[in-house]
Amino acid sequence: MHHRPTLTSSVLMTFGCALFASQMAAADTLYSVNTGTDQLVSIDTNSGAVTVVADLSVDVHDCDMAMHGNTVFIFNSKFNARSRLYAVDHRTGEVLSNERVHGRGDGLASAGQYMAISLDFDANGSSEIMRLIDQDGRYHAILDFTPYGADFDGMACDPDGNLYTVDVAGSGFTSHSPTLEPMSYPRIGNSSGGTVNDVAFSNGVLWGMDNLNGKLLRIDPASGRVVGSVSLNPPMQLLGLAEAPSCNGDLTGDGVIDAADLSELLSLWGENDMGADMNGDGIVNAPDIAVVISLWGPCP
């Protein structure tokens, strides 16, 4: 399996998640949470302008985020292991679901049908277990287990299916891939002060949230080096990072809404899949077909 090197300062690391087809954003907008005010915010990656989307109706303690389908998911990790997984409408801040997650951890990324989540394997948070989790907070396959000494914080999947994570413990180590083949977590680079708490891809660019210094860091995925930064405006400390949603109706992520997307929708018929549930009524059915057909053609 091919593994590309990766980031942090903590240390950024990558490993393969080629099993997953991740839909990347086409817009230079990221989402984050102001945990001091419990507000969902959007960030312009060009100017750093932070805009409040809405007040969240939940108390967010320590979060990591992912855009899964057209929905923002917030993994709200609690020290008492009473963690929650919130599904949030990125346009209104409405909490669509609030599910209990057993265990605590610090990473969430969209990974095809499911999401990948990083959980603390022991009470000290000194090793990690990677699992797949669905939108209802139910665990599925174990992807990976890291030996003692890992402390992951934040995850993102790039367009090629490589999964990036920040190791705040600052060490590299060896674990296993989803196919149980040995694979390494190469040390990639350092970010200043170990302050990156989450990473996300937007329009093919890897971004890191430097929450202590109030900056977005632009990261070279090949070397893990920080190659640029954007100061948040107004300055504030944010936690979590998620890209903007992919083109609505483009379920295959190929930039056009066509028969392939209709086929993908039909394969999920009758399921509660937020990516294919175009009208948000909790089930993939005939009205969703009508929405896909109404959006037919190239993504805007």
My answer on whether 280 and 190 are in the same domain is no
Amino acid letter, residue 129: I
- What is the model's pLDDT at position 227? 87
* 288 vs 293: CA distance, rounded Å: 9
My answer on whether 164 and 138 are in the same domain is yes
- Candidates 236, 243, 244; CA nearest to 48 is 236
My answer on whether 154 and 201 are in the same domain is yes
What mean pLDDT do residues 205-234 have? 86
pTM of the model: 0.73
**What does the longest C-alpha to C-alpha distance in the chain come to?**
52
Q: 249 CB contacts (<8 Å, ≥6 apart)?
A: 257, 261, 278, 291, 292, 295
My answer on whether 183 and 287 are in the same domain is no
What mean pLDDT do residues 237-262 have? 84
Q: Beta 256-257 vs 239-243: how paired, if at all?
A: unpaired
- What is the model's pLDDT at position 17? 54
299, burial (CB in 10 Å: exposed 0-12, middle 13-18, buried 19+): middle
Phi then psi dihedrals of residue 152, to 5 deg? -80, 145
User: What's 262's domain CATH number?
Assistant: 1.10.1330
Q: Is residue 2 a part of any domain in this protein?
A: no
My answer on whether 131 and 157 are in the same domain is yes
Which residues share a beta bridge with 102? 82
My answer on whether 266 and 142 are in the same domain is no
**Number of helices and strands (H, E) in the chain?**
2, 23
* 169 vs 120: CA distance, rounded Å: 13
Q: Comparing 116 with 48, which gets the higher pLDDT?
A: 48
Place of tokens 């609690």: 78
Q: Is residue 4 a part of any domain in this protein?
A: no
- Candidates 72, 80, 67; CA nearest to 56 is 72
* 197 vs 109: CA distance, rounded Å: 13
Q: Which of 219, 243, 267 is the last residue of a domain?
A: 243
User: What's 35's domain CATH number?
Assistant: 2.120.10.30
For residue 33, give its domain range. Answer: 11-243
Which residues share a beta bridge with 199? 208
- Candidates 270, 297, 206, 142; CA nearest to 4 is 206
Which residues share a beta bridge with 128? 120
My answer on whether 218 and 273 are in the same domain is no
My answer on whether 105 and 233 are in the same domain is yes
Question: Taking the CA of residue 162 as centre, how many other CA atoms within 13 Å lie in the half-sphere pointing to its CB?
Answer: 22
Number of domains in the chain: 2
Q: Is residue 137 a part of any domain in this protein?
A: yes
- Side-by-side strand order, sheet with 95-102: 63-68, 71-76, 82-88, 95-102
pLDDT in tens, 36-61: 999 999 999 989 999 999 999 998 88
pLDDT in tens, 123-143: 555 566 778 888 888 888 777
My answer on whether 170 and 77 are in the same domain is yes
CA 23 to chain centre: 11
Q: Which of 243, 271, 287 is the last residue of a domain?
A: 243
Residue 140 to residues 133, 251, 272: CA-CA distances in angstroms? 6, 22, 16
My answer on whether 264 and 236 are in the same domain is no
Provide the mean pLDDT of the chain.
76
Q: Is residue 250 a part of any domain in this protein?
A: no
- Candidates 93, 130, 94; CA nearest to 115 is 130
Q: Is residue 5 a part of any domain in this protein?
A: no
My answer on whether 29 and 177 are in the same domain is yes
pLDDT in tens, 158-185: 777 777 877 766 533 222 333 333 344 5
My answer on whether 275 and 193 are in the same domain is no
